[in-house]
Amino acid sequence: MPTRPQAVAFDIIDTVFRLDALGPALAAHGLAVPDVETLYAALLRDAMALASAGGFAPLPEILGGALDQLRVHRGLRPSAEAREAVAGAMKELEPFADAGAAFRRLKDGGIAVHALSNGARSATEALLARAGFAELFTAVHSVEGAKTYKPHPAIYRAAIAAIGLAPQEVMLVATHAWDCHGAKRAGMTAGFVRRGQDWPKAFDRPDVTGEDLLDTAEAILRLA
């Protein structure tokens, strides 16, 4: 039975911040709003391929390459203007409505709130500051130091070391089952933000599950 963590590290993109802002940027340059999901899946695919096979590139570079591939697949040419528009939209992502309440509940409950993102530390800090969340976070951790991407074990281990707790005292919260699985394999506990998703049976199961961020935070606080 899992115990209450001393720190919770939140995945950021698509867990805390919505991807909706990318839709208008894609639509303005020949793609469709539903292409956001395809683009994000391609971004994750290419980041994971680098993590698995070796190599590292900044996330904006991977995003630009995934966008060019998607445009060609849709019969369009690669576009510097489209890449700039999408990169700009990534800086303007809005948080899920219950994000702030979830962070405050955990902090009030004596649990340190951290960020663990595939994005750069500076980009993550800017998103949190723009949303008014900066003061709620103890620290922001990114992939830059380890030069690889989640779910590579090095990312979780580096965050655990920086937080300064035992692995089992740190919980990763994400809406991505593969991220939760990666954290579990690194010795952390995991909280899954379901948002209507099923849990893949091939993955190690999360320790807590909630339908949204606040529901997940409440489930964490119920742990003894």
The residue among 70, 90, 110 that closes a domain is: 90
The stretches in the chain having pLDDT less than 70 are none
Distance CA 111, CA 149 (A): 26
The answer to whether residues 138 and 207 belong to one domain is yes
For the range 124-132, what are the long-range contacts, defined as Cβ-Cβ under 8 Å and sequence gap of 24 or more? Answer: 124/12, 126/91, 127/12, 127/17, 127/91, 127/93, 130/92, 131/17, 131/94, 131/95, 131/99, 131/100, 132/100
Query: In the prediction, which pLDDT does 115 show?
Result: 98
Q: How many CB atoms lie within 10 A of CB 53?
A: 7
The answer to whether residues 98 and 162 belong to one domain is yes
Query: In the prediction, which pLDDT does 111 show?
Result: 98
| Within-domain flag for 192 | yes
Residue 28: strand, helix, or coil: coil
Query: In the prediction, which pLDDT does 129 show?
Result: 98
The answer to whether residues 48 and 69 belong to one domain is yes
The answer to whether residues 127 and 86 belong to one domain is no
Query: In the prediction, which pLDDT does 2 show?
Result: 86
| Within-domain flag for 1 | no
Question: Would you call 164 exposed, middle or buried from its count of C-beta atoms within 10 A (0-12, 13-18, 19+)?
Answer: exposed
Distance CA 130, CA 123 (A): 11
β 208-210/139-142 pair status: unpaired
Range(s) of the domain holding residue 26: 22-90
The answer to whether residues 135 and 180 belong to one domain is yes
Query: In the prediction, which pLDDT does 99 show?
Result: 98
Query: In the prediction, which pLDDT does 134 show?
Result: 98
The residue among 45, 72, 90 that closes a domain is: 90
Query: In the prediction, which pLDDT does 1 show?
Result: 74
The answer to whether residues 104 and 33 belong to one domain is no
Overall domain count for the chain? 2
Distance CA 206, CA 2 (A): 10
Placement of tokens 């506990």 in the chain: 189
Query: In the prediction, which pLDDT does 29 show?
Result: 97
Strands (E), the chain: 7-10, 112-117, 139-142, 170-174, 189-193, 208-210
The residue among 38, 61, 90 that closes a domain is: 90
What the block records as the tokens of 95 is 């948080």
Q: Model's pTM, two decimal places?
A: 0.97
The answer to whether residues 57 and 162 belong to one domain is no
Peptide bond into 151 cis (omega under 30): yes
CATH number, domain with residue 78: 1.10.150
Sheet holding 170-174, edge to edge: 139-142, 112-117, 7-10, 170-174, 189-193, 208-210
Question: Which of 148, 186, 189 minimizes the C-alpha distance to 9?
Answer: 189
| Within-domain flag for 2 | no
What the block records as the tokens of 48 is 């994971």
